[in-house]
Chains A and B, each alone.
Chain A
């Protein structure tokens, strides 16, 4: 079993839709959970990070962590074509060593 599992997609939605991206993880010791966005042929960029369980909101993006079920979610409201990218969830181990999921490719169609 991989430490972080993520549905690879692709996920195709119309512009304006609410997008839900999800990951599961296996090691309950992790405390920091991140979402990175990666455009084609670019490096990942940090979207959001959350500590322990709970929600964190930043504009159209909401990150949610449920430690009891080891489930990480990212919601995107009013999705835009510019949101089309691969979304990577990650968990941070000691010293900022990140373990990534495989990424979900999102396509937002105008």
Chain B
């Protein structure tokens, strides 16, 4: 049973560029959430997708956008990259929106470095 898969694992961009990160959820899961984890800090919630719609959003600017496809996979797009966007971007999947059990399954992340 494949878990949450993310691509690419590492990438380097320069300021002002745009980046797209991809995520495939765990089999049987239909909800995808994205988190940003800066070095030495805990993950911060970016947004959540369910039924191809953004359902919740954290305190991130509009430069961060996303999409969910009919097969439940998801993309995270970041425009006009800043040095401060350098972080590990984590995708997490879960089943439905019901309940607040925190049973999220995380991928290994995409490490973005902005120069």
Kindly identify which residue among A41, A43, A46, A102 contacts B42, using a CB–CB cutoff of 8 Å: A102
Size of interface on A: residues with Cβ below 8 Å to B: 31
Kindly identify which residue among A33, A42, A46 contacts B108, using a CB–CB cutoff of 8 Å: A42
Contact pattern, A 44-60, Cβ under 8 Å of B = 1, otherwise 0: 11100101000000000
Q: Are A95 and B42 neighbours in the complex by a CB distance under 8 Å?
A: no
Is the CB of A6 closer than 8 A to any CB of chain B?
A: yes
Give the distance in Å from the alpha carbon of A100 to the alpha carbon of B40 in the complex.
12
Is the CB of B70 closer than 8 A to any CB of chain A?
A: no
Is the CB of B24 closer than 8 A to any CB of chain A?
A: no
Q: How far is the CB of A38 from chain B (nearest CB, A)?
A: 9
Q: Is the interface of A mostly helix, strand, loop or mixed?
A: strand
Binding site for A on B (CB under 8 A): 4, 31, 33, 35, 40-45, 48, 55-56, 58, 90, 94, 97, 99-109
Binding site for B on A (CB under 8 A): 4, 6, 8, 31-34, 36, 41-46, 49, 51, 88, 90-103
